[in-house]
Amino acid sequence: MFRRMSIIPLIILFSAMIVLGMTLMKRREPKQSDELTANVKLNISSINKQWSIGLSYDKNHNSDTWYMYVPSMIDPANEKISFKGCSSLKIEDIDGNVLEYKNEDKFAGLTEGETYYLHFCNKDEILETVKFMYLRSEGVAAAFITTDSGSMDYINENKNNYEKGNILILDKDGSVNYLGALKKISGRGNTSWEKDKKPYALKLAHNAELLGMNEAMNWVLLSNYYDISFIRNKVTKYLGKKLGFSYNTESQYIDLYCNGVYFGLYELCEKVEVESTRLNITDLEEENTLVNVKQPIEYDTVSVNKGEPGERVGYDLPWSPKDITGGYLIEKNYSNRYTRFPSRFRTDAGEKYVIRSPRHASMEEVDYIAGVMQKIEDGAEAGEDISEYADVKSFADKYLLEEFVANEASGATSSFFYKDSDKIDSKVYAGPAWDYDKCLGNAMKDFIDDTEHLNFLTAHTQGTRLFYNLYKNSESYRKLVSSEYKNVLRPAILKVLSIKIPEYAEVPESDEMDPMNWTFTLDSVKETRAVVEEFIKDRMAFFDRVFIDNEELAYIHFEADETIELAVIKGSEIGALPTVGDVKNWVNKDTGEKISETTIVNGDITAVPAE
């Protein structure tokens, strides 16, 4: 008679087997073939043998296939293959046909996307065999970086680590776009830096034009980890350009190779910085350097009201330039990022700004720009005219852009403002636009992704109240926002849907290499594009009702440790509810009635946490 085994031990045993299997997959034991495959290199430039690409293992761990990811301008049949540890390579197709290659032979006769058996041979003896496939991108430039150490391990340990090296950029037609020393490659970003596909910052040895973009030394490699469609940044920056921001960062798609290893499809992008070819305002950092004996960074930092509203942190510089009215590039930021910057200030309302330039600002300079921003904050709260201090059109355009795309971090971080010297322009401008991988239906918070909400840039932790106050308290500002939407933004949105999205999506949707390398599918890239398009259409329909048809809004004030402001069209459902800290459930402060997603909003509401 058989004894019936309890279901619980079976579940435990089965779960343990799954965990063990996953662990073994993640901790794949090195094989002899690893050393052999590591030494297979395809030359990609006659300039120098250091410019080559190698093989990459299948990160999906679904097979033992090794891939050669070939940039679009390189035809393997015309390039030489090199290797070590064996006398020849024999490549066998599924029908048993074999091609043999000696060192420095042209790598001809192979078909892209076909699976082969790659035999490492000593004469007639097969030392090791692995599965092999090569893939080739289409119509995209490529950047090849070699670091002094020959590895990216040190850089990837910490985003503050950096190395020197060299860089070669080939345009999609195969011409050399740039070849030279790399003064610095380091990590960058915040949440994106924590992911396997990391973003990087580049500093060239000298100013250079890259792929048709204006010359500069500093460049950014965006990984777009959170946006596999690769179009959200491009779409949003295009809209910013059409709205008339005076500086908009340009970018180009590239295949990135580091020390011969394919890293994926990236976006080579201009950096937001004060520079004659970028944000062209007075360089106050340079002025500070000129008037002081030592470099500004060598002086002590000082502070007042530290950690409190009205905080000022800057450098105790012996001398300041005669004109400290500009230029300034500042960024609204929140606590754990705010304190990383040496020059910074808080307004009376507690809003935190870091001074990007001059990075090493004197206390006199910190006081000056903080005072200007305080006047803008006070005026917005009081519903007063702020045009003496701010370019109101740029503030309306920034609000419209961030609100339309429903940017997850809007008003909290990567939110820039700038001011030139009064001799050139006495006003503060909102912009440039930056960092839009989590928008257009990708905010990862339902109430931000809700297309029939306005949140006035208050949705993120420590978001701003500046734009809410401007919109709520100033009729002239509301009229300007409506006019800019109807006459500028909406026509640009229509062009995005009909022309720009197909243009921006062409490279990501034809690229099989990045999905294979980073374990997603080409179909998911196309599905993500469809999400973006659908979001834009739904959002435009809602904006039409608000800013063209002038349907009346009802405001919902979510009052907790932090405050979030939402607005919906009066008489409609409230939609997705925000979470503030641990608070997910809300009641009407005046009536005590529970608030749900289906609550009809017929007037302004103050919502408080449910007990």
Quick: pLDDT tens for 438-482.
999 999 899 999 999 999 999 998 899 999 999 999 999 999 999
> What are the distances in angstroms from CA 519 to CA 52, 443, 511?
24, 22, 13
Lowest pLDDT segment from 50-64, 79-93, 174-188, 593-607 = 50-64
Whether residues 462 and 325 share a domain: the answer is: yes
Task: Please indicate, yes or no, if residue 537 is contained in any of the structural domains.
Answer: no
Task: Please indicate, yes or no, if residue 254 is contained in any of the structural domains.
Answer: no
Q: Is the dihedral of CA 423, 428, 429, 432 positive or negative?
A: positive
pLDDT of amino acid 275: 96
> Between helices 522-543 and 501-510, what is the axis angle to 10°?
160
Q: What share of the chain is helix, strand, coil (3-state, %, to 5)?
A: 30, 30, 40
* 308 CB burial (10 A radius; 0-12, 13-18, 19+): exposed
Whether residues 460 and 585 share a domain: the answer is: no
| DSSP-based three-state secondary structure for 183 | strand
pLDDT of amino acid 48: 65
Q: Is the pLDDT of residue 95 over 90?
A: yes
Whether residues 312 and 439 share a domain: the answer is: yes
Average pLDDT over residues 544-572: 97
Percentage, residues of the chain above pLDDT 90 = 87
Q: Is the pLDDT of residue 518 over 80?
A: yes
User: pLDDT band at residue 153, thresholds of 50, 70 and 90?
Assistant: very high
Whether residues 453 and 327 share a domain: the answer is: yes
* Strands across the sheet containing 105-106: 52-53, 41-43, 80-82, 105-106
Other C-beta atoms closer than 10 Å to the C-beta of 37 total: 22
Q: Is the pLDDT of residue 18 over 80?
A: no
Query: Tokens in use for 55?
Result: 């093989």
Residue matched to tokens 């909003």: 601
Is the Cβ–Cβ distance between 33 and 15 less than 8 Å?
Answer: no
Quick: pLDDT tens for 32-57.
678 899 999 999 876 666 799 999 98
Task: Please indicate, yes or no, if residue 437 is contained in any of the structural domains.
Answer: yes
**Mean pLDDT taken over the chain:** 92
Residues 6+ away with beta carbon under 8 Å from 483: none
Whether residues 467 and 591 share a domain: the answer is: no
Q: How many CA atoms, within 13 angstroms, populate the side-chain half-sphere of residue 486?
A: 13
Query: Tokens in use for 231?
Result: 């179009």
Task: Please indicate, yes or no, if residue 158 is contained in any of the structural domains.
Answer: no
User: pLDDT band at residue 59, thresholds of 50, 70 and 90?
Assistant: low
Task: Please indicate, yes or no, if residue 512 is contained in any of the structural domains.
Answer: no
* 243 CB burial (10 A radius; 0-12, 13-18, 19+): buried
User: Beta partners for 265?
Assistant: 255
Other C-beta atoms closer than 10 Å to the C-beta of 300 total: 7
* 538 CB burial (10 A radius; 0-12, 13-18, 19+): middle
For 277-337, give the DSSP string.
TSB-S--HHHHHHHHSSS-GGGSPEEEESTTSTT-EEEE--S---S--S--EEEEE--HHH
Whether residues 451 and 570 share a domain: the answer is: no
Report the alpha-carbon distance of residue 501 to residue 492 in Å, rounded: 12
Whether residues 318 and 435 share a domain: the answer is: yes
User: Beta partners for 352?
Assistant: 346
pLDDT of amino acid 161: 97
- Which is it for strands 41-43 and 80-82: parallel, antiparallel or unpaired? antiparallel
> What are the distances in angstroms from CA 457 to CA 32, 406, 409, 424?
55, 9, 8, 30
Whether residues 316 and 440 share a domain: the answer is: yes
Task: Please indicate, yes or no, if residue 115 is contained in any of the structural domains.
Answer: yes
Domain finish residue from 429, 453, 473: 473
The pTM (predicted TM-score) of the whole model is: 0.92
Residue matched to tokens 């097969």: 126
Average pLDDT over residues 493-511: 97
Q: How many domains does the chain have?
A: 3
Task: Please indicate, yes or no, if residue 249 is contained in any of the structural domains.
Answer: no
CA angle 35-41-47, nearest 5°?
A: 145
Average pLDDT over residues 560-588: 95
Average pLDDT over residues 568-573: 98
Quick: pLDDT tens for 582-600.
899 999 999 999 999 999 9
pLDDT of amino acid 28: 42
Average pLDDT over residues 534-556: 98
Report the alpha-carbon distance of residue 445 to residue 91 in Å, rounded: 50
Whether residues 562 and 461 share a domain: the answer is: no
Task: Please indicate, yes or no, if residue 333 is contained in any of the structural domains.
Answer: yes
pLDDT of amino acid 590: 96
* Strands across the sheet containing 56-57: 56-57, 65-70, 125-136, 116-122, 88-92, 98-101
Query: Tokens in use for 53?
Result: 């690409």
Whether residues 431 and 558 share a domain: the answer is: no
Q: Is the pLDDT of residue 500 over 50?
A: yes
Whether residues 448 and 557 share a domain: the answer is: no
pLDDT of amino acid 46: 66
Domain finish residue from 136, 154, 172: 136
Q: Residues of 187-217 as b/e, b for ≥16 C-beta within 10 angstroms?
A: bbbeebbeeebbbbbbbbeeebebbebeebb
Average pLDDT over residues 382-390: 98
> What are the distances in angstroms from CA 535 to CA 392, 421, 443, 492, 539?
28, 40, 12, 15, 6
* Strands across the sheet containing 312-315: 301-304, 312-315, 344-346, 352-357, 328-332, 415-419, 428-430
User: pLDDT band at residue 316, thresholds of 50, 70 and 90?
Assistant: very high
Average pLDDT over residues 152-173: 96
Whether residues 586 and 440 share a domain: the answer is: no
pLDDT of amino acid 61: 55
pLDDT of amino acid 4: 33
Query: Tokens in use for 38?
Result: 């590591």
Domain, as residue range, for 338: 284-473
Domain finish residue from 107, 136, 165: 136
Report the CATH number at residue 559: 2.60.40
